[in-house]
A and B are shown apart, each in its own frame.
Chain A
């Protein structure tokens, strides 16, 4: 283990454990454990949501996608960022004003239906598992790159998976939402600072964005593939142009990865999926008011826009700079063929090492580890909220004390982490190595597909259409989840064409079907009682005004002392 690896890991541990200790919960209350007392301010919450949302897939994956596919790689970033526009317009404020513990809790209470609550728990857990496993895989891969050694006879990868997941699980189990919030906020700021540092040093070294894209677009886009007689020889292969077949794919033009339908399907899947991601949407329940939740989303849009714009620029910078940097750097020659990286996810760490030697590599690796850990924290907490509150408190032990309920959340957090770590290790036999980055990206897209196809349509209708019924919601959840899972599983079995693009990102097709099913079934069934009371609570602002007045009085009391 190098001194850089030791310093990096020590810094990550000190930050995570230090922040968790300082911000630990003050008592055994479920509102404190799951919702941080519902007193998280606008800026803190926007940083925490960014930390929660920007996983290793966003930090390393977006730059990697641009590195390997040029302009088409930017579509991942556009989809990820676009997702917060529907959240702001349709969900943030009413969801917070209704004010429950989780998405499943919201749907269960809004429909006054336990079957809806339990179906939501199932869909939420499916989304969480699809998202959690690749993050644990990311932790293992980062450890493998940074440390390269295993502990207690385990492989480096398995050690990384177990250690990163265990640290986060302990932090979440004992820090609850309060500790997780401050961790995610600090972690986002560190992540953002790492990207800013890289963008500044690259630009100061003479990188010119427009000239680089122009220059990269003068030759057909080609990427390394394994070939040769024994299938172990790296060669550059030209990408197919999916937008204009017959013409070469170019870095600065669309078509290297998607046709027109694939572009739209991906953006819709990622965009609508965001609104159904339980770990992100649960954060809105921590806002003091609906108004604060809406303003938080505005800040999130600004911050993640800046983040993704920098990630795209750095993907282009890596493609432009690395070929000239290979000469005189033997370590880089091992990672490239004709100046192009074998593994595109190495783009940012390699840039970090080119400009900052071991320290630069350590900084980027720490940021990647932090990105994975902050997302794992959010996912574990969302999982704990659904198992601990929606299942244990509602169905297993309805007379649970606050202390029992909090311990149920802690235990389910640890169990969820163990399951994710086990699956991450099982999914990483050595034979999978060359396909692993695509498996990570694919599983994250599955999470967005299930969320956008099943949860988002039902959530939006529950908030904006008063005729939505429990039967309609149940039918919508089951239809959306079943169809989306069937479609993306089928996508892996057919040839690459427009149909496969559509099946791999199925929300464009499934979300309208889910909406139609909810509407048709709701119109044929009786709406739940008390919709008017729900409407006043969800779309009125009396609770906001009361909370704001209390906050002013509290501040006044403090000032007067």
Chain B
């Protein structure tokens, strides 16, 4: 990435419209190439590819769980009388409990679990922090 806008003033024209990352060269966070690489661990394409494949597995696995949960509702309604007739929580049926609150709780749990796992994968596979404790890394993610 070429920091074409580095040092530009509000009045100076750009040779081409810069990306947001390039703009940041003039902001508080510098663009990628503005820093010396002496004390930095850069991601190699091979490392990123391996991390990408692991992240893709995590995303697909959780997405399948999500799809099964959402698709299960009409299937249960059609096939299981208990789903709409039983009373399980304050006189509410299991189907009503799911649509009125349970599914949102499940969505949040899926989100938290996926975010922790993704953070753990990234901290293990990228940036040379292989010794970092998984739990502490995941905990830091959700702070």
B93 nearest CB neighbor, chain A only: A252
Which residues from B are CB-within-8-Å of A543?
21, 32
Which residues from B are CB-within-8-Å of A547?
29
User: Is A517 at the interface (CB under 8 A from chain B)?
Assistant: no
A97-127 CB contact bits vs B (8 Å, 1 = yes)?
0011100010001000000000000000000
B1-40 CB contact bits vs A (8 Å, 1 = yes)?
1000000111111111101110110111110100100001
User: Is A188 at the interface (CB under 8 A from chain B)?
Assistant: no
With the chains together, A30 CA to B27 CA distance in Å? 11
Query: Within the complex, which residue of B52, B58, B84 is in contact with A254, where a contact is CB–CB below 8 Å?
Result: B84
A16-24, A342-350, A429-437, A531-539 - the one binding chain B:
A531-539
Q: Cβ of B103 and Cβ of A545 under 8 Å apart?
A: no
User: Is A38 at the interface (CB under 8 A from chain B)?
Assistant: yes
Which residues from A are CB-within-8-Å of B111?
84-85, 88, 297-298, 301-302
With the chains together, A109 CA to B59 CA distance in Å? 24
Which residues from B are CB-within-8-Å of A294?
115, 118-119, 141
B57-85 CB contact bits vs A (8 Å, 1 = yes)?
01100110010001101110110000010
B94-122 CB contact bits vs A (8 Å, 1 = yes)?
01100111011101101110110011001
Tell me the total A-B contact number using a CB cutoff of 8 A: 226
- B92 vs chain A, min Cβ distance (A): 5
Which residues from A are CB-within-8-Å of B45?
532, 535-536
User: Is A271 at the interface (CB under 8 A from chain B)?
Assistant: yes
Instruction: Give the size of the chain A interface in residues (CB under 8 angstroms).
Output: 88
Which residues from A are CB-within-8-Å of B14?
398-400
Residues A401 and B66 in contact in the complex (CB < 8 Å), given A78-B99, A252-B93: no
- B40 vs chain A, min Cβ distance (A): 7
Q: Cβ of B40 and Cβ of A542 under 8 Å apart?
A: yes
User: Is A526 at the interface (CB under 8 A from chain B)?
Assistant: no
Which residues from A are CB-within-8-Å of B32?
542-543, 546
Q: Cβ of B26 and Cβ of A88 under 8 Å apart?
A: no
User: Is B133 at the interface (CB under 8 A from chain A)?
Assistant: no
With the chains together, A305 CA to B103 CA distance in Å? 8
Most buried by B among A254, A297, A302, A305: A254
Given contacts A405-B17, A542-B42, A546-B30, 6 further A-B contacts (CB under 8 A): A254-B77, A268-B70, A291-B122, A312-B99, A389-B17, A547-B29
Mark B residues whose CB is within 8 Å of A: 1, 8-17, 19-21, 23-24, 26-30, 32, 35, 40-43, 45, 47-49, 51-52, 55-56, 58-59, 62-63, 66, 70-71, 73-75, 77-78, 84, 87, 89-93, 95-96, 99-101, 103-105, 107-108, 110-112, 114-115, 118-119, 122, 126-127, 141-142
By Cβ-Cβ distance, the 4 closest A-B pairs, closest first, are A305-B104, A210-B91, A210-B90, A540-B43
